[in-house]
Structure 1
Amino acid sequence: MRPDEVARYHADRPGYELLDYAEVALPVYKVALRVMLLQHTPLTPMFEFVLKTIRIGIDTLDEIAACLGIPPEMVKSTLEGLHTSEEIEIVGGTDGPERFRLTRKGEKTTSSLERVRPEQQTIRLFFDGLTREPIDASAAVLLSGREAHDLGMTEIPALPNAKIEVSDIDLAAAGRILSRERTGEGKRDLLAIKEIERRQRLHTPAIAMVFQEVGGGDVELLFATETTMLDEHNRRFALAEGPRKTRLLAEFSKPAVSAQDSFSRKLQTLDRAIAAPAPSGRKRTLRAKAPAAEGTISAVTVHEHPLLLWDAIATASDRVLIICPWITDQVVDKPALASIEKMLKRGVRLFVGYGLDDNDRKKRKKVPEALQRLASEYEGFQLHDFGDTHEKVLIKDDAFVVEGSFNWLSFRGDPDRKLRHERSLKVTDPAFVEKEFALFEARFRAKGRRGGKSVEGDAE
């Protein structure tokens, strides 16, 4: 599930409204422990048969060899091993042959058909930084701090921000995790933890959601992963105190957000506005954060670009301007054309500039003919081959301008495909937006309106 879908799933909370959400990285510690284990290993057939013959009273070397039908030398070697491990003891032997009997340990070994011996090892376990409990991380996505930062995630600090110590570790819980992780290595009981040799802080992805009581009451920060609300994490976070938690709440909570601008309300508005299916055939969903203050600049990640594009086409009231080098039918497909025509019928002006000459005519493909037909049919649609542009620009009304590296009309930015790094800046200052639009509109005027004519552009 995408982050916006996770937020939608958990948005219904009676008495509260979801103001905002963000991708976060929850703390996880990878810890190397020096421990004492009790190793259980199955008995070899030779040890099993010798122990069982001794238990029924066949207790000399020659008697055991004759009973089992094996050479005395093999029996002698086995008896020496069992004596060394204190599973048998020698009785008699002064006036006759040595006799053997099982010790208490040998009785247990014979009954369980496994040998038990203590050993020291260094093992690896993972601990949750909020619950401070050992966890099974075999199926978890674990990120370094740098990886979490590069993905735009906010790091959640461990609360309390103290190192994991031996005294913090629940021996029984750690033993259960160890048993699950080492199912193919035989049974091992965790007897004691001697010391922590090293610690490494990692992170696991989650979604943080800011809820506020209806009517402007208390604000809460809750964590979730896909369809699971992390109740224990939320309880521990609610009980935590200190400046790190205060700063985190201040970062996520925006006092200026009113109920009408909440995430829940804005999602309802966008769902009504974006009724047409997305070009991929899926319903569009937007990461709808509270409106930024005028004049702010924010970064746009790769998968957020298509959401901005189709939101602009669905909700613009005056104009949409798109500049990009290439146009392909992978993006401008039938559903996309239907959305564009619906916008044009509302009287919204559309400016599309494209085209980059690089002297490689073999790569050139025609702009989708259906898009050219729309340009010839609607007076408010200007479609021009600039022939010299490598710019990537999106302008909606005077609401925002986005400029960066994303090819708006030739790259889908599908989150289900392999990640491709693209990044842009979004500016919401109306004066700056108007200035940028005026610069590009002048180029359209200089070019002259061209509609319905077959023009070529490079395919990406």
Structure 2
Amino acid sequence: MMNVAADFESKIRKYHSLPEAIVIDYKTIGYPFYLVRLDLTYLSNRTLELQEEFVIKCITHGLSDRREISSFLGVDNHFVEKVLSGLISKGIVKREEKLVVTELGLDALARQIVLDTVSETQTFYIDALNGKVYDYFKLNQVGKIDANCLKGVIRKPRKGHIEDVVDYYEEIEKALGTQNNRNRVELIQVNNFEKVYTQWHEVILVFYKNNPDDNEVGYETFSRNTIQVDYRKTIEKLYAQGQKVLDYILRFETNNEEEDVQIEQALSEEVIGIRKDDIQAVERLSVKISALNENDSFMEIKSQSFTEQRMALKKQLNEIKTQTKISEILHTSEHRDYLFEALKEVKNRLMIVSPWIRSNVVDNEFLFILEETLKRKIKVYILYGIKQKSGWGQQNDPSALKKLENLADSYKNFRFEKVKNTHRKIIVCDDKFGIVTSFNFLSFRADPSLTYRDELGVVLRDKETVESLFQSGLSLAF
């Protein structure tokens, strides 16, 4: 999953010419389309290719040799031979003592200027946010339970109400004209309205900042691993018109001063020597180095200067990492990946500290992987609990607590305890790594009903520091 975020980051950097852009989170939304199935009658021109028509006409007018046709049309012999081969394979021309157009060929030639009446049932997709009509696209479908599905802005056509698709006749006509290389289509009428229902196309909203120091969060839309400019432009146009279709998702907020103080306090208490300025410096230098490492760097720097700058930045970064023990910086989307990595890869002990516990995170997937970890005789510590003012903030989910309590009853190697009060959000995996962060590991999943946050964390890999972090966590339970 972390590679997915890096891929998004690379594409955003290139597309928007932002060499220091950083992806902080991403989520799936369902972009709505109305699937409409119509019984149509239209006039369609069943054309031959232009070069095929010219060659057939040459033969019917007495030019029976390839060289004669080539000379008359002023084209290469090989070109004429290629066209003839195709016509012969279709049964339109046959080669006897001379070239002859078959009855099938004569009929095809006659139909070049005759519009045929066609009646058939066709499926179309109406973009429910901008009203564009498509006859086909590769649809990665999502369901309502799989994504945050947007509501259509364009009125949904009603089954049986042919008048609801009258405004789409011109686009339907164009769509029909692209099928089977038809050159000209004239829609006569819609005979019947057979089906209509909503489908949702998978679109990934990727949240990013222009650079590590930027307080504003922007977004880009991806589908099939490609930036989808049309979707973003449609959404932006709707916002300009007052239609805030993403309002329940796009509620951004960076960490407030109180939260920043809590993070810095937690770091200073648990990992001596780490300051907020150091975290920002590691982030900034890491991003600059990443930008310089891009093969098609945006910076026009001579090769020697480029190498010198990268070496200087790496030296600064290594000095700060050595001094502060910070290995890397985490943003919102990366935390849950590390949580599951820890559960799957831990060899001896795992500690998770989180003020709150909610069932949207402690779900069936989490509980299954946790139990598999416990079956491997791993010592697992989950500590939670925060002192709250009455009626303030989120609450613990009783059902999630009960499921964890049941596991603790079943596995003696699982210590699940509520502590008196902690703001800490940490993970310790063996002596391999520790994480200190603002991200609530067991209660936050970038829920769209909450104000969006750029949750920031640090990864620590120094064995002595990781042990210190583990002991500080244990001290909460005593």
TM-score range, shorter chain: 0.3 to 0.5
Which structure would you say has the larger Rg? 1
TM-score by length of 2: 0.41
TM-score by length of 1: 0.42
The structure in which a higher percent of residues are helix is 2
